[in-house]
Chain A
Amino acid sequence: MSLFWSVIRQLAEIEAMATSKKVITREEWEKKLNDVKIQKEDMNKLVMNFLVTEGFVDAAEKFRMESGTEPDIDLATITDRMAVKKAVQSGNVEDAIEKVNDLNPEILDTNPQLFFHLQQQRLIELIRNGKVEEALEFAQEELAPRGEENQSFLEELERTVSLLAFEDVKNSPVGDLLDISQRLKTASEVNAAILTSQSHEKDPKLPGLLRMLLWAQNQLDEKAVYPRITDLSTATLQDPSV
């Protein structure tokens, strides 16, 4: 070990002693890591869950063949769900609404907020395409009545309609509505609602486990100094530092 590292190590130990934290060397920690048994089967399930929830239907199908892991949902339903998502992402909101109703009419019936957001997205697309009259008519006939029922809907409606008031919409305070991220937001809301209606979790487990890892490391930081993984994408242990 170079002098530099041994100094760093010493400093880490001094700091740890000052705060009475337990110091776990890299060697000791690696031994603990090697004692942990992770089942291959469980990792396969985790990957399958990710592919299925995120809607990678072809990849899920291949993964089923290559790894022998069974998906926890009927793969055919993914195709329908992804078609809806894609329709919203590419601005075909009417099409998306129709597809959701084909899939299960209860989804929109029981979810007024989602239905409002889809209609709002439809309004945004009309404005984007310069169909001003149609947009106004749609806003008054379809959206305004819903706004009367719900204060937050009304505010969102007003914000959306005000897109028409700006010449340079992109740089206006409501410019974000025309952004691609607005479509993605609506798309993921529909996606989640469909998954929930299929009694499947709306989020994949993997990101949750990654968050849990960061949290667990933070918790352990309070009591010990040990090699952490800071960069998740390389999963590399870092020597305890000061």
Chain B
Amino acid sequence: MVNDPEQINQQQDLVGSYFLELWRLKSKSAAVSFAKHFEDEELEEEGEDVPTELDTLNSSGGFSIVLRDKLSVQYPSVNLHGHDVGVVQANCPAPVKRLVYYFEMHVKNAGAKGHVAIGFTTEGFNMRRQPGAPLLLAALREILPCLALPGWEANSYGYHGDDGLLYRGQGKGEAFGPTYTTGDTVGGGINYASNKLFFTKNGQVVGTVDKDVKGRLYPTIAVHSQNEEVSVNFGKDPFLFDTKAYEATERARQHVLIESMSIPQEESYGIVRSYLQHYGYEETLNVFDVANQSSVPSIPVADHNGFNEHAMYALNHRKILRKLIKDGEIDAAFSNLHQWYPKTVEEDTSAISLMLHCQKFIELVRAERLEEAMDYGRTRFEKFYSFTQYEDLVKDCAALLAYEEPKKSSVGYLLGEWQRENVADAVNAMILSTNPEMKDHRSCLHSYLERLLRQLTACFLEKRLLNGNQGEAFHLRRVLLAKNP
């Protein structure tokens, strides 16, 4: 039970600073840094470098075999001194923050022996410093079988054209897929969800292999007999293999696994109900309950009340205050708060007071009562100026006056619905924090639904972290936009 004044203050500070922080994420100062990240997080994978061409500096043979377009490789018709094998990596490793990575190689000419290969090799591989130590070594090992190779790691995978075998690290070639030759297109892919590599021939998957390497993998190709010529496609041209369909199949596979988890039907009803309670959406809640009671058969959810710690606490007051704030009636909200929960607005320089005063100012600007707004700002904002933690936010508000069309300005977000809702949410949480029954002091901040979604996101992030940061992240928004099968 919270009745010690010290504790009450601490609790109010927690609530106030929490919602100020949410505001700050939307604010002008944050617009460039983390708010942008916040909004664009789903574009994360687009920020990752993707291979676009072959690396000419860091490959055996270098310019002598990579053609000018940097997408084709040709083994010379004369014997290349000291460059028996031409292993060429892409200019950067395959991106990892996605479900699938894929690239293709077209064999223009299988040359004298058809010793072409496609695969993946690891980082830290420097052909110039260690000539003769290509990672797609299987090829080299064929010519020099007993060669001991310094720095050779067990971390490469290559699918070979002449025998169709898969060469993994130091191992011998294993039976894998069909052979391929002039005119064929083969592809190499990484499936981050199943943690497997797969290879294709002419648009069809020919086999998969466990990816037992944690580090970054470079798309790599190799040639090593006279006149061999191949070109790679890193996605600039359409692939022969249908990557979209492959991804869809992979997602469907995951979907089946997820769908097999069983949850009681009424679970969702309870979570929706506690959400409506938490935020004080009282009218929705009432109608929802009535509908549930009259449905056939009635859903048992309305029976076990009190599963939400706050349940009906101050529900009607919270609803009234939310509506007032949503309607821009800040004076009325203030006076109700003074009357019902004087402690919440007792401290004149608290975060909640700041948010309400700012909102009042914003509403005056919205109503184009600019002189009043100016007066209000002058008298009310002054006391907040000495608090550096409020400075940026107060400045944002004051800046509204500088624009003829404030809505289109850099502080235009203040006039959006989000701002009102955040103030309403802050007031709502503040009232919940006065609940003497409250046990967990953070429970006034997050609904059950939010807690579950946080847990879900954290689990995905942690799993990815433990997997060397590889694979897709979880984005609620993406799930919301997705049309499930």
Contact = CB atoms under 8 A, between A and B. Distances in A.
B453 A209 contact: yes
Interface residues of B, number: 63
A45 B478 CA distance: 12
B483 A63 contact: no
A37 B38 contact: yes
Contact of B448 (A41, A90, A235): A235
B454 interface: yes
Contact of A43 (B25, B270, B449, B460): B449
B250 to A, nearest CB: 15
Contacts of A68: 326, 417, 421
Contacts of B340: none
A42 B275 contact: no
Contact of B477 (A42, A61, A63, A214): A42
B379 interface: no
A58 B459 contact: no
Contact of B460 (A205, A216, A226, A233): A216
A237 B452 CA distance: 10
B462 interface: yes
B145 interface: no
Interface stretch (B44-52, B229-237, B254-262, B366-374): B254-262
B148 interface: no
B227 interface: no
B421 A40 contact: yes
Interface in B250-296: 257-259, 261-263, 265, 267-268, 270-272, 275-276, 279, 281-284, 287-288, 290-291, 296
Interface string A186-229: 00000000000000010111111111111111111001101001
Nearest to B459: A216
**Interface of chain B, main secondary structure:** helix
A191 B206 CA distance: 42
B284 A66 contact: yes
Interface stretch (A9-17, A47-55, A107-115): A47-55
Contacts of B484: 201, 203, 205, 208
Contacts of A216: 456, 459-460, 463, 474
Given A33-B454, A43-B447, A51-B272, A211 B459 contact: no
A47 B459 contact: no
A232 interface: yes
A212 B275 CA distance: 19
Given A63-B281, A229-B452, A223 B421 contact: no
A146 B472 CA distance: 47
Interface in A61-78: 61-63, 65-68
A41 B460 CA distance: 21
Given A223-B463, A229-B452, A66 B257 contact: no
A219 B457 contact: no
Contact of B297 (A59, A180, A210): A180
B42 to A, nearest CB: 12
A38 interface: yes
Given A43-B275, A204-B268, A234-B448, A36 B458 contact: yes
Given A59-B284, A66-B283, A224-B462, A233 B456 contact: no
16 contacts: A32-B458, A32-B461, A38-B450, A40-B421, A40-B425, A41-B418, A66-B283, A68-B417, A211-B258, A216-B456, A223-B463, A224-B462, A229-B451, A229-B455, A235-B271, A235-B455
Interface of A: 22, 24, 29, 32-33, 36-43, 45-47, 49-51, 56, 58-59, 61-63, 65-68, 86, 89-90, 180, 184, 201, 203-220, 223-224, 226, 229, 232-235, 237
Interface of B: 25, 38, 257-259, 261-263, 265, 267-268, 270-272, 275-276, 279, 281-284, 287-288, 290-291, 296-297, 307, 319, 322-323, 326, 417-418, 421-422, 425, 447-463, 466-467, 474, 476-477, 479-480, 483-484
